[in-house]
Structure 1
Amino acid sequence: MKTKKSWFIAGGVLLLLNSLTLTAFAATYRVYATREGLVGGQTANGHIIASRDHFCALPSGTVLNCNGCRNYTVNIRYPGNGRTVTGVPVWDIGPWNTKDNYWHAPRAEFGNVPLGLPESQDAYQNGYNGGHDEFGRVVANPAGIDLADGTFWDDLGMVNNDWVEVTYNWEPDCNYLLVGGAIKVHYDGMGGCDSLLGGPLIGETTTPDGIGRYNHFANHGSIYWTSAYGAWSIHGLIRDHWQALGWETSALGYPVTDETGTPDGVGRYNHFKNPRLNNQGGSIYWTPALGAHEVHGAIRDFWANQGWERGPLGYPTSDEYAVSVGRRSDFEHGTITFNSTTGQTTSP
């Protein structure tokens, strides 16, 4: 039994998640299997193909094992007779393409083909890329996996090329189709299903204020989008604090940066803008010692002009709160007060 370990940053804290077995979370797709044959030939990793050999080929070098290695394996079920084989190593590249990791989000090539659909299948069935593979060859069958003779005949009892169900044991199950548009572009830029956000939990959803859209993700994170600000991620303890304040309906509004490390290397932050308050700026800053606190409006402007966390006041230690003359925020080395009568912001 193998355990999948995932690292991610939550409000500046690097956390380790231990999931269940790989097969519990591995992705499975229905693809067309062909018999590789080629006994006596050499695979892409240098393996000499033996009679009744046991391995498979997938059309991407990203999961090619070294000769004899089994870091990347698949489980295959043949619905034609119900037989299953597990732990089949990937020792060759093919069929048709060499960069089509169709099981992974984002794909290395053919990014506009749906997850789990081999380019060769789309080309054969739907005329994608004019019916050609990456080399310009006319695709003659929809194959997404090649099987060595022993796997094809002996393990699965197959007689002819046919459809099979393949489980990609290294690949986390990720419902990538839940993500779309500008949020998908940003998600892909972060690494897609391999990013610190993990897989999407919900489809793209309109925010309660009707201004933006968002997806939530498995590793305690979200991406929020508006037409004015674009798409940005927020996660971990900073996201928790934003949620406690009221998400985008709070005084902060929407994120306009991803979570970012501070220049002094101590903390982390997200910046925000509020479209309901003339694009007023806000931030949440987090440090291991002080936790997460928000600062916004005139008080934030005053703090920014003094050099942010590297200025004389240091990091915020409170959210903004009401005082007799107006509003105030506390910092490591002092306070900033906004006088609502005079409109003046001061730091005694």
Structure 2
Amino acid sequence: MNQKIKPQIFPRLLQKGDLMKISRMMLGLTLSTSMIACSGAAPSMGSSANQETRRYQDDRTKLENKFVGVVGTYDGSMKIYQRVKDGSDTSQYDVVDIPLQIGIYTEEVSTGKDSQGEAKVLPTLKMRYRQMDTVRSDIILDVRYVEETGEIHASSAVSGNGGAGGNSNTSTSGTTINAVLSGANLTGEVIRAAGKLGTFSLNLSSREVISSSSEADRDFFDRTLNLYKNISGVYTGTVTPPEGSTAKPFPIKIVLSAVQISEDGNLRAALKANYTRPDFIADPTISERFMDVYYRLDTTPAQLIMSSKGGTPQIPDAYFMTITGELDETNHRYEGDLVDRRGFVGHVVLTREKKTAVQ
């Protein structure tokens, strides 16, 4: 029988065209694998960013809900210890009630950036402390509020001008306030560097609070101008030379006026004084002085200082004069000392003739 011989099958040698086809196939496979890998990573990145955004929004909401019940203006009084006036024993004190106002408000503060480079801004609490018995710059404090107990702890935050007449509406003096909020009642103590200043009891009067710097500047200007108007008027009296002097007492007249001054586009309240001697009848201008006035509210009692400068080519300080003294509690009697270029002239006692302010 004839056996069938199976044909020998030899593998075909790879040609140049086959190699190119294989290369294209491998490249396509590599690209497909990379695309699959990338498409699988994208949802993970997006999910992480979304979670971060949600956490940030949750933090904002929690703080806003926490602060809404404490924000507002609180009015009342503070009991302070004040040395007995005209007392020889400096250890004796009177307990005095002074009007007090505290405003608590929120301010946006940057806490850094998120993973996408966006700013993370969260609300924080601030306090505006204001004693209403006089006009001084407000004190701005940082606030920590414990919602569970109602505790409020505040400490000085901003530095600024400390006296009436300046443009700054905020100051700091090492002030700390510890208080408790119970419903609409805020009670606590004020501590300064020298020790405890006093204790206060306030009630919520409004949910509105002066918070922006422009509002505070305008409010400070209005309060300062009103203060100056309250002491403005025509003051007349006598200058009495010191004992042993050959000079005689002489009359003087001072017109104290509240004015508005524009500086760099900002309004500033100020006091000006016009000094004359009524006994110089022939030529009153010989004695006339136009004086700048500084009302020092940082002293107790407050000092009222009037001064003039300038002179002539022959006598450069011919117009120099300073009157330093104090107004009584009724703002009707002024007592102080007058000094000119020659030295101490005499003791001044003046009485305000008119109660209405000079505009």
Structure with the greater alpha carbon radius of gyration: 2
Report the TM-score when normalising by structure 1.
0.25
Report the TM-score when normalising by structure 2.
0.24
Bigger proportion of residues as strand: 2
- More relative contact order, 1 or 2 (CA 8 Å, 6+ apart): 1
